[in-house]
Amino acid sequence: MKFVYDRIYKLSFGADKSVEFDNINPDIVPAKAKDICSNWMYKCSCIREVLPRIYIDIVFLKMFRFIFTEKEIENKIIILAKMIRGLSSPLISYFVSMYLCKIAMNLYPKFKSYKLILLDNLSRYDLKDDTQSKLCNLFIIYFHI
């Protein structure tokens, strides 16, 4: 996805590398770049399997900056956190939750509400009490909830 992001960035700002990620605003992105970004997202939204689609949506979080406002991005992250609730395997759910947190914290550090949703998701699995508490505590420690 780095190549796709770099291509859209180049369409938006040319060879100018001075525009920081935090300063990318959908209002300043040209229509052609928005269109290409949207097309990538539409293509991947056709994936029917939940797990690959969640992973691809998480990878697209960096490209969301080109077409969505911060509030819309935060809502998309919350939707992803709620989609993870549909995974039946506790271990897979835990790994996907960790991956979402890692990517979202690096790109959008001020968003925090999705972390509580993920923690709630992990606490709903019917695991042994000590296993469940270890997983939740590890999640809390690592992501500073």
Residues 75 and 139 placed together within one structural domain of the fold = yes
Task: Quote the CA–CA distance of 72 and 145 in Å, as a whole number.
Answer: 22
Residues 42 and 74 placed together within one structural domain of the fold = no
Residue 65, Cα to own-chain centre: how many angstroms? Answer: 11
Number of domains observed in the structure of the chain = 2
Residues 35 and 85 placed together within one structural domain of the fold = no
What does each C-alpha distance from 96 to 67, 84, 122 come to in angstroms? 24, 7, 11
Q: Which domain holds residue 81?
A: 69-145
Q: What is the pLDDT along the chain (145 residues), one digit of tens a residue?
A: 788 888 888 888 887 778 888 888 899 899 999 998 889 888 888 888 888 999 999 999 999 999 999 999 999 999 999 999 888 888 888 889 989 999 999 999 999 889 888 888 877 777 676 776 777 777 677 666 6
SS3 of 101-134: HHHHHHHCCCCCHHHHHHHHHHHCCCCCHHHHHH
Entry pTM: 0.83
Residues 28 and 79 placed together within one structural domain of the fold = no
